[in-house]
Chain A
Amino acid sequence: NAGVMQNPRHLVRRRGQEARLRCSPMKGHSHVYWYRQLPEEGLKFMVYLQKENIIDESGMPKERFSAEFPKEGPSILRIQQVVRGDSAAYFCASSPGSGGAYNEQFFGPGTRLTVL
Protein backbone atom coordinates (compact mmCIF):
# COMPACT_ATOMS: atom_id res chain seq x y z
CA ASN A 1 0.00 0.00 0.00
CA ALA A 2 1.77 3.10 -1.23
CA GLY A 3 2.06 6.03 1.11
CA VAL A 4 1.25 9.65 0.39
CA MET A 5 2.89 10.70 -2.87
CA GLN A 6 4.03 14.21 -3.63
CA ASN A 7 5.56 15.60 -6.77
CA PRO A 8 7.74 17.14 -7.70
CA ARG A 9 10.11 16.58 -4.79
CA HIS A 10 12.05 19.71 -5.69
CA LEU A 11 10.80 22.70 -7.62
CA VAL A 12 12.68 25.80 -8.67
CA ARG A 13 10.82 28.85 -9.86
CA ARG A 14 11.76 32.42 -10.66
CA ARG A 15 9.93 35.29 -9.03
CA GLY A 16 6.57 35.88 -10.70
CA GLN A 17 6.15 32.35 -12.02
CA GLU A 18 3.52 29.86 -10.92
CA ALA A 19 4.17 26.78 -8.79
CA ARG A 20 1.94 23.70 -8.84
CA LEU A 21 2.42 21.08 -6.17
CA ARG A 22 0.67 17.72 -6.39
CA CYS A 23 -0.40 15.29 -3.72
CA SER A 24 -1.87 11.82 -4.09
CA PRO A 25 -3.30 10.56 -0.79
CA MET A 26 -2.93 7.05 0.52
CA LYS A 27 -5.36 4.53 -0.91
CA GLY A 28 -8.67 4.74 0.88
CA HIS A 29 -7.99 8.23 2.27
CA SER A 30 -10.45 10.95 1.31
CA HIS A 31 -9.10 13.80 3.46
CA VAL A 32 -6.07 15.84 2.46
CA TYR A 33 -4.12 18.47 4.36
CA TRP A 34 -1.39 20.87 3.29
CA TYR A 35 1.28 22.22 5.63
CA ARG A 36 4.20 24.55 5.09
CA GLN A 37 7.57 24.48 6.82
CA LEU A 38 9.49 27.70 6.39
CA PRO A 39 13.24 27.78 7.06
CA GLU A 40 13.89 28.07 10.79
CA GLU A 41 10.16 27.93 11.52
CA GLY A 42 7.79 25.23 12.57
CA LEU A 43 5.26 23.31 10.56
CA LYS A 44 2.16 25.39 9.87
CA PHE A 45 -1.28 24.25 8.73
CA MET A 46 -2.50 25.72 5.48
CA VAL A 47 -5.66 23.98 4.27
CA TYR A 48 -7.84 20.91 4.79
CA LEU A 49 -9.80 19.43 1.88
CA GLN A 50 -12.12 16.59 1.08
CA LYS A 51 -13.05 15.59 -2.44
CA GLU A 52 -14.35 18.71 -4.20
CA ASN A 53 -14.66 20.61 -0.90
CA ILE A 54 -12.47 22.94 1.12
CA ILE A 55 -13.18 22.24 4.78
CA ASP A 56 -10.76 24.62 6.47
CA GLU A 57 -8.54 27.19 4.76
CA SER A 58 -7.76 29.22 7.85
CA GLY A 59 -4.01 28.87 7.29
CA MET A 60 -3.93 29.87 3.65
CA PRO A 61 -2.45 33.25 2.72
CA LYS A 62 -5.21 35.50 1.41
CA GLU A 63 -3.64 36.08 -1.98
CA ARG A 64 -1.84 34.00 -4.60
CA PHE A 65 -2.46 30.65 -2.90
CA SER A 66 -5.22 28.20 -3.80
CA ALA A 67 -5.88 24.51 -3.28
CA GLU A 68 -8.19 21.94 -4.79
CA PHE A 69 -8.95 18.27 -4.46
CA PRO A 70 -10.99 17.24 -7.50
CA LYS A 71 -13.23 14.22 -7.78
CA GLU A 72 -10.58 12.53 -9.88
CA GLY A 73 -6.84 13.01 -9.59
CA PRO A 74 -4.47 14.44 -7.03
CA SER A 75 -4.85 17.43 -4.78
CA ILE A 76 -3.13 20.54 -6.13
CA LEU A 77 -1.63 23.44 -4.20
CA ARG A 78 -1.14 26.35 -6.54
CA ILE A 79 0.98 29.41 -5.85
CA GLN A 80 0.71 32.24 -8.33
CA GLN A 81 3.36 34.91 -8.88
CA VAL A 82 5.79 33.32 -6.44
CA VAL A 83 8.06 35.48 -4.28
CA ARG A 84 11.25 34.57 -2.44
CA GLY A 85 9.33 34.29 0.83
CA ASP A 86 7.40 31.35 -0.61
CA SER A 87 10.56 29.23 -0.55
CA ALA A 88 9.76 26.43 1.88
CA ALA A 89 9.00 22.75 2.21
CA TYR A 90 5.35 21.99 1.49
CA PHE A 91 3.96 18.83 3.00
CA CYS A 92 0.77 17.01 2.20
CA ALA A 93 -0.91 14.62 4.60
CA SER A 94 -3.94 12.38 4.27
CA SER A 95 -6.34 10.58 6.58
CA PRO A 96 -9.25 8.18 6.10
CA GLY A 97 -11.68 10.58 7.78
CA SER A 98 -11.88 13.07 10.58
CA GLY A 99 -12.48 12.58 14.25
CA GLY A 100 -10.77 10.15 16.57
CA ALA A 101 -8.53 7.53 15.05
CA TYR A 102 -9.80 8.43 11.58
CA ASN A 103 -7.85 11.64 11.90
CA GLU A 104 -4.46 9.92 11.97
CA GLN A 105 -2.61 11.97 9.38
CA PHE A 106 0.14 10.39 7.31
CA PHE A 107 2.58 12.71 5.61
CA GLY A 108 4.21 12.67 2.23
CA PRO A 109 7.92 13.36 1.64
CA GLY A 110 7.26 17.00 0.82
CA THR A 111 8.00 19.35 -2.08
CA ARG A 112 10.88 21.75 -1.58
CA LEU A 113 10.16 24.97 -3.41
CA THR A 114 12.98 27.35 -4.13
CA VAL A 115 12.21 30.76 -5.58
CA LEU A 116 15.10 32.49 -7.29
Chain B
Amino acid sequence: SQELEQSPQSLIVQEGKNLTINCTSSKTLYGLYWYKQKYGEGLIFLMMLQKGGEEKSHEKITAKLDEKKQQSSLHITASQPSHAGIYLCGAAGGTSYGKLTFGQGTILTVHP
Protein backbone atom coordinates (compact mmCIF):
# COMPACT_ATOMS: atom_id res chain seq x y z
CA SER B 1 0.00 0.00 0.00
CA GLN B 2 1.10 3.54 -0.64
CA GLU B 3 2.59 5.56 2.19
CA LEU B 4 3.24 9.28 2.34
CA GLU B 5 5.84 10.83 4.59
CA GLN B 6 5.69 14.55 5.31
CA SER B 7 8.53 16.64 6.63
CA PRO B 8 8.91 18.45 8.83
CA GLN B 9 6.20 17.29 11.25
CA SER B 10 5.95 20.79 12.62
CA LEU B 11 7.34 24.16 11.69
CA ILE B 12 7.48 27.49 13.52
CA VAL B 13 8.41 30.56 11.51
CA GLN B 14 8.39 34.31 11.90
CA GLU B 15 5.94 36.24 9.77
CA GLY B 16 7.49 37.18 6.45
CA LYS B 17 9.76 34.14 6.22
CA ASN B 18 9.65 31.58 3.40
CA LEU B 19 9.13 27.91 4.15
CA THR B 20 8.92 24.54 2.43
CA ILE B 21 7.01 21.38 3.31
CA ASN B 22 7.90 18.09 1.65
CA CYS B 23 5.84 15.03 0.85
CA THR B 24 7.57 11.79 -0.19
CA SER B 25 5.74 8.77 -1.51
CA SER B 26 6.74 5.11 -1.34
CA LYS B 27 5.28 4.64 -4.83
CA THR B 28 4.83 6.64 -8.03
CA LEU B 29 2.30 9.40 -7.59
CA TYR B 30 -0.56 9.56 -10.09
CA GLY B 31 -2.28 12.48 -8.46
CA LEU B 32 -0.94 14.50 -5.56
CA TYR B 33 -3.19 16.78 -3.52
CA TRP B 34 -2.39 19.50 -1.04
CA TYR B 35 -4.92 20.53 1.59
CA LYS B 36 -4.90 22.88 4.55
CA GLN B 37 -6.80 22.15 7.75
CA LYS B 38 -7.47 24.50 10.60
CA TYR B 39 -7.77 22.79 13.96
CA GLY B 40 -11.27 21.41 14.44
CA GLU B 41 -12.35 22.25 10.90
CA GLY B 42 -12.58 20.65 7.48
CA LEU B 43 -9.95 20.49 4.76
CA ILE B 44 -9.46 23.31 2.30
CA PHE B 45 -8.35 22.22 -1.18
CA LEU B 46 -5.18 24.00 -2.27
CA MET B 47 -3.84 22.29 -5.38
CA MET B 48 -3.67 19.05 -7.32
CA LEU B 49 -0.64 17.96 -9.36
CA GLN B 50 -0.53 15.14 -11.87
CA LYS B 51 2.34 15.46 -14.27
CA GLY B 52 6.00 15.01 -13.46
CA GLY B 53 7.64 18.43 -13.24
CA GLU B 54 4.30 20.18 -12.84
CA GLU B 55 4.18 23.34 -10.78
CA LYS B 56 1.14 25.29 -9.64
CA SER B 57 0.75 28.51 -7.69
CA HIS B 58 -2.06 30.13 -5.80
CA GLU B 59 -1.39 33.48 -4.19
CA LYS B 60 1.79 32.94 -2.16
CA ILE B 61 1.70 29.14 -2.21
CA THR B 62 3.54 27.09 -4.85
CA ALA B 63 3.49 23.32 -5.17
CA LYS B 64 5.72 21.16 -7.35
CA LEU B 65 5.74 17.50 -8.31
CA ASP B 66 9.18 16.18 -9.14
CA GLU B 67 10.00 14.54 -12.48
CA LYS B 68 10.05 11.05 -11.02
CA LYS B 69 6.65 11.68 -9.43
CA GLN B 70 7.58 10.42 -6.01
CA GLN B 71 7.99 13.70 -4.15
CA SER B 72 6.15 16.96 -3.91
CA SER B 73 7.01 20.20 -2.17
CA LEU B 74 4.82 23.05 -0.97
CA HIS B 75 6.49 26.44 -0.71
CA ILE B 76 5.03 29.47 1.02
CA THR B 77 6.56 32.85 0.28
CA ALA B 78 6.45 35.68 2.83
CA SER B 79 4.39 33.71 5.34
CA GLN B 80 1.53 35.35 7.24
CA PRO B 81 -0.36 34.31 10.39
CA SER B 82 -3.28 33.34 8.11
CA HIS B 83 -1.08 30.57 6.67
CA ALA B 84 -1.00 28.80 10.03
CA GLY B 85 -2.65 25.40 10.16
CA ILE B 86 -2.05 21.77 9.29
CA TYR B 87 -0.92 21.00 5.75
CA LEU B 88 -1.78 17.59 4.38
CA CYS B 89 -0.62 15.91 1.22
CA GLY B 90 -2.78 13.18 -0.28
CA ALA B 91 -2.16 10.66 -3.06
CA ALA B 92 -4.73 9.14 -5.36
CA GLY B 93 -4.73 5.48 -6.22
CA GLY B 94 -4.68 2.11 -4.55
CA THR B 95 -7.88 0.15 -4.65
CA SER B 96 -9.56 2.93 -6.63
CA TYR B 97 -8.59 6.26 -8.11
CA GLY B 98 -10.99 7.96 -5.75
CA LYS B 99 -9.21 6.72 -2.67
CA LEU B 100 -6.84 9.29 -1.21
CA THR B 101 -4.06 8.25 1.14
CA PHE B 102 -2.85 11.10 3.35
CA GLY B 103 0.41 11.97 5.01
CA GLN B 104 0.47 12.59 8.73
CA GLY B 105 0.38 16.36 8.26
CA THR B 106 2.71 19.29 8.95
CA ILE B 107 1.71 21.74 11.66
CA LEU B 108 2.65 25.28 10.68
CA THR B 109 2.80 28.10 13.22
CA VAL B 110 3.50 31.65 12.05
CA HIS B 111 4.45 34.17 14.69
CA PRO B 112 3.53 37.80 13.97
Contacts and interface: CB of A to CB of B under 8 A. Distances in A.
Interface of A: 4, 31, 33, 35, 42-45, 48, 55-56, 58-59, 91, 93, 95, 98-101, 103-110, 112
B65 to A, nearest CB: 14
B79 to A, nearest CB: 23
Given A104-B45, A105-B45, A107-B42, A58 B95 contact: yes
B92 A103 contact: yes
Contact of B43 (A99, A101, A107, A112): A107
Contacts of B45: 104-107
23 contacts: A4-B42, A35-B100, A42-B102, A42-B105, A45-B101, A48-B99, A55-B96, A55-B98, A56-B95, A58-B94, A58-B96, A91-B43, A98-B97, A101-B50, A103-B48, A103-B97, A104-B48, A105-B100, A107-B42, A107-B45, A109-B42, A110-B41, A112-B40
Contacts, number: 69
Contacts of B104: 42
Interface residues of B, number: 26
* Closest 3 pairs (CB-CB, A-B): A56-B96, A107-B43, A48-B98
